[in-house]
């Protein structure tokens, strides 16, 4: 989009005349006004969606003991489905409020996880947090591709790290096999590696940057944590094997793309020759 300086430059160069410049300035002012209005709609709709969600949770929480179990489940499931459908409607059916629709779909993903934990609590299901978090991830992971949603890719990355932390705290035997810092670093490498894999498929490229960013953050945090115990750090026996496998996988993926492009080029040359 052109701006005021560019209009003046075109006017000075004689590319446009004064009448055209004035018309462009009017169009630019209208565009900026409309753009600001859209941003306000997006901001208020997102905040409104979050406040509605918080209000629903507080309402249920304040009357938790008075509400029957079946009603609780219906409220939780209905809220999740309703928010999800509202997001779908705004983004795909109405198509006028794409960003608020995406925000509501993300909110429904958060509600899905909250509903899982609350339903487990309602029926006293003997499930550890490290069991419920993977179910949450599995439940929302398809939305990354169904709705081309990068924010949900970020949510799944955070939930993956949360699951790793909960699993490590619940399984005390893991401490003898690997340290928390090593496990967190490997988790970051795995998430970053998934970003590389997403870059290989055209339909999954929308999640590439998110996974790479989330993986890189975990790697940097883990490396920063290492600096506090750099001289006392002891390498577990399994760590070199894991890092070696990770390195081989990275090289395989990084080399596969150039080789694939080269093979495509050779095929096209052969076809042209024939």
Do 262 and 173 fall within a single domain? yes
Do 96 and 154 fall within a single domain? no
Number of domains present in the structure of the chain:
2
Tell me the pLDDT tens digit for each residue of 44-83: 766 776 677 677 667 766 776 777 888 888 888 888 898 8
Average pLDDT over residues 94-110: 83
Do 62 and 175 fall within a single domain? no
Tell whether 274 is covered by a domain.
no
Tell me the pLDDT tens digit for each residue of 197-232: 888 888 899 999 999 999 999 988 888 887 776 555
Tell whether 167 is covered by a domain.
yes
Q: Is residue 43 predicted with pLDDT exceeding 90?
A: no
Range of the domain at 21: 1-124
Tell whether 272 is covered by a domain.
no
Tell whether 174 is covered by a domain.
yes
Among 93, 124, 155, the domain-final residue is: 124
Among 74, 92, 124, the domain-final residue is: 124
Comparison of pLDDT for 191 and 37, the residue scoring more: 191
Do 90 and 190 fall within a single domain? no
Do 117 and 197 fall within a single domain? no
In this prediction, residue 267 carries a pLDDT of 35
Lowest-pLDDT range, 4-8, 31-35, 72-76, 268-272?
A: 268-272
Tell whether 252 is covered by a domain.
yes
In this prediction, residue 228 carries a pLDDT of 74
Q: Is residue 263 predicted with pLDDT exceeding 50?
A: no
How many Cα atoms are found within 13 Å in the side-chain-facing hemisphere of 213? 12
What percent of the chain clears pLDDT 70, i.e. is strictly above it?
73
What percent of the chain clears pLDDT 90, i.e. is strictly above it?
17
Q: Give the number of other Cβ atoms within 10 Å of residue 93's Cβ.
A: 10
Among 64, 92, 124, the domain-final residue is: 124
Mean pLDDT of the chain: 78
Tell whether 273 is covered by a domain.
no
Do 86 and 151 fall within a single domain? no
Do 46 and 19 fall within a single domain? yes
Do 145 and 80 fall within a single domain? no
Tell whether 260 is covered by a domain.
yes
CB 165 within 8 Å of CB 175: no
Do 114 and 132 fall within a single domain? no
Do 96 and 180 fall within a single domain? no
Grade residue 246 by pLDDT with cuts at 50, 70 and 90: low
Q: Is residue 121 predicted with pLDDT exceeding 80?
A: yes
Do 106 and 2 fall within a single domain? yes
Tell whether 111 is covered by a domain.
yes
In this prediction, residue 271 carries a pLDDT of 38
Do 19 and 118 fall within a single domain? yes
């Amino acid at each position: 989009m052109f701006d005021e300086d560019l209009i003046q430059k075109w006017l000075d160069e004689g590319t446009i005349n004064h009448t055209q410049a004035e018309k462009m300035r009017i169009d630019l002012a209208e565009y900026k006004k409309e753009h600001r209005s859209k941003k306000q709609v997006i901001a208020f709709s997102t905040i409104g969606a979050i406040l509605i969600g918080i209000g629903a949770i507080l309402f249920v929480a304040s009357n938790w003991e008075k509400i029957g179990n079946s009603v609780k489940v219906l409220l939780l499931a209905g809220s999740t489905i309703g928010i999800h459908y509202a997001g779908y409607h705004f983004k795909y059916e109405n198509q006028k409020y794409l960003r608020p629709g995406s925000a509501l779909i993300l909110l429904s993903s958060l509600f899905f996880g909250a509903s899982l934990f609350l339903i487990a609590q309602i029926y006293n299901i003997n499930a550890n947090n490290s069991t419920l978090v993977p179910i949450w991830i599995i439940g929302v992971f398809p939305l990354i591709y169904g709705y081309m949603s990068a924010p949900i890719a970020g949510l799944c990355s955070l939930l993956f790290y949360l699951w790793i932390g909960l699993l490590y705290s619940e399984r005390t035997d893991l401490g003898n096999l690997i340290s928390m810092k090593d496990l967190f670093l490997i988790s970051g490498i795995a998430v970053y590696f998934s970003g590389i894999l997403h870059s290989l498929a055209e339909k999954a490229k929308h999640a590439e940057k998110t996974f790479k960013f989330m993986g890189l953050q975990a790697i940097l945090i883990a490396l920063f944590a290492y600096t506090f115990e750099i001289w006392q750090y002891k390498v577990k026996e399994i760590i070199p094997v894991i890092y070696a496998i990770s390195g081989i996988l990275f090289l395989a993926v990084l080399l596969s793309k150039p080789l694939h492009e080269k093979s495509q080029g050779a095929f096209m040359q052969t076809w042209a020759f024939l």
